[in-house]
Amino acid sequence: WRLEGSLRCEYVGVKGGVLADAIGYGKTACTIGLIDCTYKDPHPQVPPAFTGFIPTRATLVLAPTNLHAQWVAEITKFTGDALKVLSVPTCAQLKRLTLNELMEADVVVATYRLFYSSAYLRRLEEVARTQCPGFAFPRLPVGALGSGASDARREWARAYRTAFE
């Protein structure tokens, strides 16, 4: 007996991925090489389901705060002026960027911490409410964090409580 099957995939032009190898395995070099090889590719067609989103070719690199400057320096070191790199370590710097700057960027390097900041969460809710009046983030069950929660989860919970309670 033999069971056969087939799978048909349709490419819709949206790309993404996560590279989470261990320390020293060349994540930075691999990522910069991939960005450098593909940044001149034509803009992908935006699927109809995503027409409300802002089109950008930028690669978003999320790095720990202590590695943010290193990422920006490494990209510049290996690609020179070929790529337009935006450095966004804080919400204040994100707010200074224009929509055109984000749309024209090849790489946006941000920190994880940016997404945990109360300023970012407040701004995100403001933007969401302009698109969906009455929008509110769901309440986080803080008691569910437990004593073994990571620093990042505790920090997020603290920022969330500050912003929304």
Q: Domains plus CATH for the chain?
A: 24-39+54-113 (3.40.50.300), 117-165 (no CATH)
| Paired tokens of 139 | 């309440």
CA–CA separation, 137 vs 156, rounded Å? 14
Q: Mind listing the pLDDT tens digit for each residue in 67-78?
A: 999 999 999 999
pLDDT at 51 over 60: yes
Q: State yes or no: pLDDT of 107 exceeds 90.
A: yes
More confident call, 8 vs 104: 104
For residue range 108-164, list pLDDT tens digits in order.
Answer: 999 988 887 888 887 777 776 776 666 555 454 445 444 444 655 666 566 556 655
d(CA 141, CA 85): 37
Of residues 105 and 133, the one with the higher pLDDT is 105
Give me the count of residues in the chain.
Answer: 165
State phi, psi for 129 to the nearest 5 degrees.
-70, -30
Q: Which two tokens stand for residue 42?
A: 């034509």
